[in-house]
Amino acid sequence: MNVADAVTCRLKKEGLNFEILVDCDKAMDFKHGKASLEDALVTEDIFKDIKKGEHASEHDLKKLFGTDNKLEACEIILKSGDVQLTAEYKNKLRETKKRAIIALISRNAVDPKSNIPHPPQRIENAMAEAKVNIEEWKSAEQQVGDIIKKINVIIPIAYELRNIELTIPADVSGKAYPVLKQYSTIANETWNNDGSLTVLVEVPAGLQNELFDKLNGITQGRLESKIIQK
């Protein structure tokens, strides 16, 4: 990759900046375990200020990373640092999220007049007409509720949501919490005396089984659940 097309990955450590040049797409793939370090790096040079061309000293690398091996230090910087995302990459993220949201609505919502799901193209057209903004860092599940409200004025949508009370054992509550956030909206949460977590969540009907499968896997079947209302 041409250096001119590279982006900066920056890590601040004990008040010092460490910057490396990376390929944006491959750097993000590396963070998700889908690319090698060598593919992501444009150069192994480590800077304290790329714009000024100032390199980081071997003394600082040894002190703060425990090594003066540039490749090893680059790996730490890329794993923990912030990659400057290109507009193209952000657009790609938004497009991926948009497709996921459309699939979610098409799978879980129907036209209340016909009780038949809306085709994906109709949903996409309604999103465009409603000038829906897709947030690249939020999951499709986190955005779908607000988007349905916006497009419901354009196409009629019946989207079944269920309120479910879940109790998760203390030893796996931390691991289960991100799954709850991904698949549902948490309306209320209570930490019980035994350390277990009881939550009231709102979940699309079409995602209920998937949520239960994930949580049962984490809790090894110790999940307690009760549907409050549909």
Q: What are the pLDDT tens digits along the chain (230 aa)?
A: 677 789 999 999 999 999 999 999 999 999 999 999 999 999 999 999 999 999 999 999 999 999 989 999 999 999 999 999 999 999 999 999 999 999 989 888 888 888 788 899 999 999 999 999 999 888 888 898 899 999 999 999 987 778 999 999 999 999 999 999 888 889 999 999 999 999 999 887 767 888 999 999 999 999 999 988 65
The pair of structure tokens assigned to 12 is 């601040």
Burial of 74 (C-beta count, 10 Å sphere; 0-12/13-18/19+) = buried
Model confidence, pTM = 0.63
CA dihedral 40, 43, 47, 50 (to 10 degrees): -90
Please tell me the distance from the alpha carbon of residue 62 to that of residue 85, in angstroms, as a whole number: 28
> How many other CB atoms sit within 10 Å of the CB of residue 210?
15
Residues 176 and 216 in one domain: yes
Q: Which domain holds residue 11?
A: 3-83
Nearest to 19 by CA among 41, 46, 59, 40: 46
Residues 131 and 169 in one domain: no
Residues 22 and 67 in one domain: yes
The three-point CA angle 74-79-85 to 5° equals 95
Residues 76 and 124 in one domain: no
CATH code: domain of residue 221: 3.30.70.240
Residues 79 and 7 in one domain: yes
The three-point CA angle 70-7-68 to 5° equals 10
Q: At what angle do helices 173-183 and 205-219 cross, to 10 degrees?
A: 170
CATH code: domain of residue 146: 1.10.10.900
Nearest to 201 by CA among 148, 158, 161: 161
Residues 148 and 166 in one domain: no
At a CB cut-off of 8 Å and minimum separation 6, what does 38 contact? none
